[in-house]
Amino acid sequence: MPSRQKLIFALVVLLIAAVTGAGALWLTRGPGGPISSGEALVGGPFTLTDQNGKRVTDQDFRGKYMLVFFGFTFCPDVCPSELQVMSAALDELGPVGEKIQPVFITIDPARDTPEAMKLYISNFHPRMVGLTGSDQDIAAVAKAYRVYYAKAKGSESSPDYLMDHSTILYLMGPDGKFVKHFTYNTDVKALAEGLRNVIQ
């Protein structure tokens, strides 16, 4: 093929590729911006043990929103701070807050027995549920919620070890599906407003 024809052929191939790519981008983003495709892959079935020693599943929470936070009772700062914000936001919502079930799931089942969870959550909202379970139970629910957790480096062998973990607050719908999330630095007013906008 003469060099001129090769050049024209190459340009035609590039043009087709560019048009195809632009079309794919338009279908993905749409003329007005990004288009959400599908549901967020957060949450799912779980079987855990509550603070009273009762085995519960995600089905036990159907019909109510769940406000879920993962942490551990030996947490020195992040966990108690976030649970206080959750509790205060629910109180600020008044009757609307009754539609929301606050849930605290441990990522440290070795130390967070049902008894330990019961004592710990008594410091926060009176309707809060504390969930624990076996290592396998916790690994499964953490995977479903895309939660990272691990013993903090340097403290693995200590009985007073700390845990590194995600600090996202998840709002799940009455059908058990993900609705939205809140970051750790969300204050009481912003959290209450964010919840009210979804639930009302």
Let me know whether 66 and 20 are in one domain.
no
User: Across the 200 residues of the chain, what is the mean pLDDT of every consecutive 10-residue run?
Assistant: 49 41 38 46 93 97 97 96 97 95 98 98 97 97 95 84 94 96 94 93
Residue 69 shares a structural domain with residue 11: no
Residue 145 lies in a domain: yes
- With respect to residue 42, please indicate whether it lies within any of the assigned structural domains: no
Q: Are residues 52 and 32 in the same domain?
A: no
- The domain that holds 76 is classified in CATH as 3.40.30.10
Q: Write down the pLDDT at residue 4.
A: 54
Residue 198's pLDDT is: 93
Range of the domain at 125: 47-199
Looking at the structure, tell me whether residues 52 and 144 fall in a common domain.
yes
In this predicted structure, what is the pLDDT of residue 89?
97
Assess whether 143 and 107 both reside in one domain.
yes
Asked if residue 67 is part of any domain, the answer here is yes
Contact (CB, 8 A) for 177 and 193: no
pLDDT reported for residue 54? 98
Residue 193: inside a domain? yes
Residues 15 and 82 in one domain: no
Tokens, residue 130? 């504390």
Number of domains in the chain: 2
Give the pLDDT of residue 3: 54
The predicted pLDDT at position 5 comes to: 53
Q: Do residue 8 and residue 106 come from a single domain? A: no
- In this structure, the answer to whether residues 127 and 99 fall within a common structural domain is yes
Instruction: Give burial (CB, 10 Å; 0-12/13-18/19+) of 58.
Output: middle
Backbone CA torsion sign across 64, 70, 73, 76: negative
Spatial distance between the Cα atoms of 115 and 102, rounded to a whole number of angstroms: 18
Same domain, yes or no: 156 and 60: yes
| Whether residues 59 and 138 fall in one domain | yes
Residues 175 and 130 in one domain: yes
- The answer to whether residues 65 and 131 belong to one domain is yes
